[in-house]
Chains A and B, each alone.
Chain A
């Protein structure tokens, strides 16, 4: 299948510069190549010195890499962003309502809008959360919703991340870097600021405190410094001025969580945890977890401490539930979805499965529980052997996979060894839910640096760009 022509973020089909890119294109054409090279080197050096790195799984312990940063921004016109923002607000509201519902009355299942077995039979469904009331009914306090733009210039939701979405530190550091490198571009136009994200996050966490706690003690819980996102955990804790804790730093007594400090135990009210459900409490979940706090789940269920995100959000961002999100929006909000879903083949349907097996070379097939770009098959760039191997896995357990048409992800000009070339991008806005839904404009733009590649994950050789929402 020939792919449709890609949507280029910077240039229109006739080669003219799109209006939102006017200032940057101007800079690009009037700046000598040496100066551009200088800026790129300055960015590299700075990131290295500051130590903005991520660890890579599967390599020797403690391997750290810089995430490649590209100086060409992803620019979104303000008007377009307003539509995206409304769509994100709508989507996260429905997802939070869905989570509350499935852990209480399960009306959506009773109404037959979402197949029961996909929810209650899901490994991400936590029966421990049934009838537990979380403050404000908010489950996904922090969400990352991945958006892509197809050849038609329309945005689609690629996936929802409601567990421990990462990457927001790059968003903040990328902007700092761009302001240092291009002060004149920031002076010449209105680029909406993003630096207040940590304040908004702190406010969201404060509001999530258990009832009756006026001045909550908030901590950020990390699995430790071998985690791939450790830099981000330390960064956010520092930006918010809260303690960065590991499981060993806390203990539970009388259903209350304390952290061990040099001045004795101190009560903890809100835990922004960047660690999966499975590992937070060896008494409740995986008993072999060395990262968790024994008894934490008890304290949580008793309402003595808030976990953000809540336990059990994974059931709503599971890829097997993704096809039903538009239905959730209609069911809970009585609205039509503003942001489109990518058409998804559900492989437990015989017709869908047959179609997918016959058309593997044109489709993207993903594991329902995979993340980080691991374990997916991108049909158009796969070899025949890879498809054969994948086919056997799919036929063995079709319920563990979904398939989607290969999107013609939009491209953005990007510097590589040979110069400025188009590369595919996506966009991950970070959405904060509390008394209201909040976000900073734009999000993290990820770019697939390999030619033709559609996989933007940093673990798979992806890079990042600054995202500008301009007015």
Chain B
């Protein structure tokens, strides 16, 4: 398939995934801020979404204080913020328009009608409908889109590049979220046990829909080490790093071409480390250091994918086949 088409599909699914993740992050921040009555502490919660998405800098360039209203607007509805939910919906729909021939009409219709509804959304409606209702809506549109994709799309290369985008984006998001929450909550591993920690950590689990899974896997108290293990090393948790990189590696094996060997190797290396890694070693290295390394590695992988599939150099080719 065309390199440009593959690239557009990849970014289309990343945009949808990003919108969903942003909704999840904001939802958690919102719920956490409800746990405290202290307005200063409430506002503290709203740093996390900006830190996770790496948008604190552009945010603070335009806003002097970090508070619920401002952050919500910036990350959900702001047309000036390229990674707001609003813009993700817009971009995904533009992407879909550019590759309509490679996706099913059902997929197009989901993204098109999501965007049509999104355009009717403003701050007044957001608060009138309830903030959580809005986040639910974003997640549901994303679920619907994923379901439609799996239910209607031919299992061809387009499907593979589409999934590649989803898992690259998701791995990135889970890693960032863990990293930020680790910083905020747990300067040292031994520092466990308080009621606030319990709520904080279970909020992390809920934000990636892994609370029930945690209970099933561990049947025990929520501790940061186990959460980290669940979200980094478990292969059966769909938002864990291991799960995502397993699929990224397999997809790259399937779509490989003459110049993609390095991308496949790098994905394999990241995947192998997750497959054979131990949580005690990760904590020994330092969770923050580990996640930073992971994010650097996946960034490099993203560049490799771009170079080998989306922006191939023009190389000499045989003229007749």
Partner-B contacts on A (CB < 8 A): 48-51, 225, 230, 234-235, 237-238, 243-246, 248-249, 251, 253-254, 256, 258-265, 267
Contacts and interface: CB of A to CB of B under 8 A. Distances in A.
Counting chain A CB atoms within 10 Å of each CB, the highest count among B255, B257, B316, B317 belongs to B317
Given A243-B2, A251-B314, A237 B113 contact: no
Interface string B1-23: 11111100000000000000000
Given A246-B4, A249-B2, A264 B257 contact: yes
Contacts of B257: 262-264
Contact of B3 (A50, A253, A261): A261
Interface residues of B, number: 31
B293 interface: no
B6 A262 contact: yes
B6 A225 contact: no
A260 B4 contact: yes
11 contacts: A249-B2, A249-B4, A251-B314, A256-B319, A258-B317, A260-B312, A262-B1, A264-B257, A264-B312, A265-B315, A267-B321
Interface string B89-100: 000001001101
Interface in B277-317: 309, 312, 314-317
A49 B2 contact: no
Given A243-B101, A254-B319, A261-B2, 13 more contacts: A49-B113, A51-B97, A51-B112, A225-B97, A243-B2, A253-B319, A261-B1, A262-B161, A262-B255, A264-B315, A265-B317, A267-B320, A267-B321
Interface of B: 1-6, 94, 97-98, 100-101, 105, 108-109, 112-113, 116, 157, 161, 255, 257-258, 309, 312, 314-317, 319-321
A230 B98 CA distance: 9
A234 B100 CA distance: 6
A interface: dominant SS: mixed
Contact of A253 (B98, B112, B314): B314
Nearest to B313: A260
A60 to B, nearest CB: 13
Given A49-B113, A253-B317, A262 B101 contact: no
B3 A260 contact: yes
The 4 closest A-B pairs by CB, nearest first: A238-B101, A234-B100, A260-B3, A237-B101
Given A262-B309, A263-B257, A249 B101 contact: no
A251 B101 CA distance: 22
Contacts of A248: 4
Contact of B2 (A225, A234, A245, A253): A245
A222 to B, nearest CB: 10
Contacts of A237: 101
B145 to A, nearest CB: 15
Contacts of B321: 267
A238 B3 contact: no
Contacts of A245: 2
Nearest to A260: B3
Contacts of B1: 243, 261-262
A96 to B, nearest CB: 30
B254 to A, nearest CB: 11
A265 B320 CA distance: 12
A234 B317 contact: no
A224 to B, nearest CB: 8
Counting chain A CB atoms within 10 Å of each CB, the highest count among B2, B109, B317 belongs to B2
A261 B101 CA distance: 15
B105 A50 contact: yes
Counting chain A CB atoms within 10 Å of each CB, the highest count among B100, B109, B255, B320 belongs to B100
A162 B320 CA distance: 32
A467 B105 CA distance: 25
Contacts of B116: 48
Given A238-B101, A261-B3, A262-B1, A225 B94 contact: yes
A253 B116 CA distance: 43
Nearest to B257: A263
Nearest to A244: B101
A286 to B, nearest CB: 22
A260 B109 CA distance: 28
Contacts of A249: 2-4
A261 B314 CA distance: 11
A195 to B, nearest CB: 16
Contacts of A51: 97, 108-109, 112
Contacts of B6: 262
B8 to A, nearest CB: 10
Contacts of A246: 4
Contacts of B309: 262
Nearest to B258: A264
A425 to B, nearest CB: 30
Given A234-B97, A258-B317, A49 B112 contact: yes
A225 B8 CA distance: 13
Nearest to B111: A51
A261 to B, nearest CB: 6
Nearest to B112: A51
Contacts of B2: 243, 245, 249, 259-262
A269 B112 CA distance: 34
Contacts of B157: 262
Contacts of A251: 314
A263 B6 CA distance: 11
